[in-house]
Chain A
């Protein structure tokens, strides 16, 4: 027991130091400073920003004051302006990701389960996956216009390949032993799929989704910055064009918040489904 070691070294009776209640206390004591450190790090960093901007060493165009940024952020929220653009970006992201999920999982299963489908598609998938998705942005805008649709498609092709490829590898790595067991019990093919192959692939699919979300987020911001009429990326490029640095920083904070929320959610999902992968 690792918790017993320091006590042993300190000459304390091990049996006493190793009791469960002591272990919990140790863990709790170790947890508290970690949270304090995080708090110090965030508050300290933000204060440093505010103080540095107030000192006048750099012009406000380079680094606006945090207080100004927060005021602007509050205005954006209270006037409903932010909500409106967040909604537009959200629709693009949601629509694109949903399509990426459905197509990625279905095609991924096909490629993982059938080497014929795999041979048929593998070159296209690898080539498209290796190409920076942003390169397609101008093309998509010509094809689908500057409205929501072009961004939706960009999110779709950004999120698609990570989901598709990890689904395929999840299906491919199904344990031979489990399949032989299913064979021995005469489990029909379709049920082997539902009860063994798919559940085995779920952790892989979730990992793909996490990667897909990150890439989709990049796709949406860059897509909107290139050409659009609304959305967070549009606001960002608008603020840059008018040298509104306060607004730029306010939007970056919003994006950071959205990004952290989404990846935290994806990691939580991943951990939830990981309990059985670790067997």
Chain B
């Protein structure tokens, strides 16, 4: 991969260095992540793929500061992460919306938590409701929304705090294929505006390639960085690029990387048929 890309001049926004994460439960410990090192540059969109249980969610939660590292360290903006903070925001796989609050109320929650005055919180949340295309549903409750709409609220709730680092944990995994593709495009359109640093965890290889500047492949149990792929496809991207030979070549390369160590691809999508072409 070429090294002279503009991307590489940007400052390191997130640094994960030799990180070990263990879960203690009833006396015995499970090592979820071991010796993981990676970094994300400012404004970079990085996708993380790997088999189920390899520690992707754990990594995201640790970057967010929800769980501590047993050894190694995580830095955001050069500062050690010890707990969640105002510069980071998480989009959870399961919506985690408050069922008793409206769409608007859910998006206002993080602002209220920060003591933003009600009127200002309302206006900022409303602006995001519009940005994710839910204006007509601002007063609806989550159980009145489709899965795709709920995930937009989930995304809006994270974006409303103007995070510098956006952490997304399989936000589209529960959606049907069509809605998922639609949401991928929506996410990119929204992201194009201020190109906030993003770490996007997913099982879908094509989703990772379509969205990301770089795809990191984690090895399974315990999680380590197996390999990374720089996705050299120009932005802004449209869904049509998924049918280009270049895209298929990336898919092919990442699939063979996953196949090289896993073997077990149960629960993962069927390998796509590669037509022709090589990585540009």
Taking Cβ atoms with an 8 Å cutoff, the residues of A that contact B are: 177-178, 180-188, 191, 195-196, 199-200, 202, 275-279
Contacts and interface: CB of A to CB of B under 8 A. Distances in A.
Interface in B95-132: 96, 98-101, 109-110, 112-114
Interface stretch (B25-33, B37-45, B85-93, B239-247): B85-93
Contacts of B66: 180, 183-184
Contact of A199 (B83, B94, B100, B143): B100
A182 to B, nearest CB: 8
A199 B142 CA distance: 15
Nearest to A178: B96
B23 interface: no
A177 B142 CA distance: 16
A185 B110 contact: yes
Given A184-B66, A186-B84, A178 B98 contact: yes
A195 B84 contact: no
A185 B113 contact: yes
A184 B86 contact: no
B229 interface: no
Contact of B85 (A180, A186, A199, A276): A186
B62 to A, nearest CB: 12
A181 B86 CA distance: 13
12 contacts: A181-B92, A185-B161, A187-B112, A195-B109, A196-B98, A199-B98, A276-B99, A276-B100, A276-B141, A277-B99, A278-B143, A279-B99
B170 interface: no
Contact of A186 (B99, B114, B157): B114
B64 interface: yes
Contacts of A196: 98
B155 to A, nearest CB: 14
Contact of B143 (A182, A186, A187, A276): A276
A18 to B, nearest CB: 23
Interface of B: 64, 66, 83-86, 89-90, 92, 94, 96, 98-101, 109-110, 112-114, 141-143, 157, 161
A180 B61 CA distance: 10
A178 B154 CA distance: 12
Contacts of B142: 279
A187 B98 CA distance: 13
Residue from A183, A185, A276 with most neighbouring chain B CB atoms (10 Å): A185
Given A181-B96, A191-B113, A275-B143, 12 more contacts: A178-B98, A181-B90, A182-B113, A184-B89, A184-B90, A185-B90, A186-B84, A186-B85, A187-B109, A187-B110, A195-B112, A276-B99
Main secondary structure of the interface of B (DSSP, over half): loop
Nearest to A202: B100
Give the one of A178, A184, A278 with max B CB within 10 A: A184
Of B66, B94, B100, most A-chain CB atoms within 10 Å: B100
Contacts of A202: 100
Nearest to B157: A185
Contacts of B96: 177-178, 180-181
A187 B113 contact: yes
B95 to A, nearest CB: 9
Contacts of A185: 84, 89-90, 109-110, 113, 157, 161
Contacts of B85: 186
Nearest to A278: B143
Nearest to B88: A184
Contacts of B110: 185, 187
A186 B113 contact: yes
B136 to A, nearest CB: 20
A184 B64 CA distance: 7
Contacts of B114: 186
B187 to A, nearest CB: 19
Nearest to A191: B113
Contacts of A187: 109-110, 112-113
Contacts of A195: 98, 101, 109, 112
Nearest to B86: A186
A260 B112 CA distance: 42
B64 to A, nearest CB: 6
Nearest to A187: B113
B185 to A, nearest CB: 26
Contacts of B99: 276-277, 279
Q: Which of A200, A202, A278, A279 has the most CB of B within 10 A?
A: A279
A168 to B, nearest CB: 20
A36 B89 CA distance: 58
Nearest to B113: A187
A184 B161 CA distance: 12
A27 B238 CA distance: 49
B98 A183 contact: no
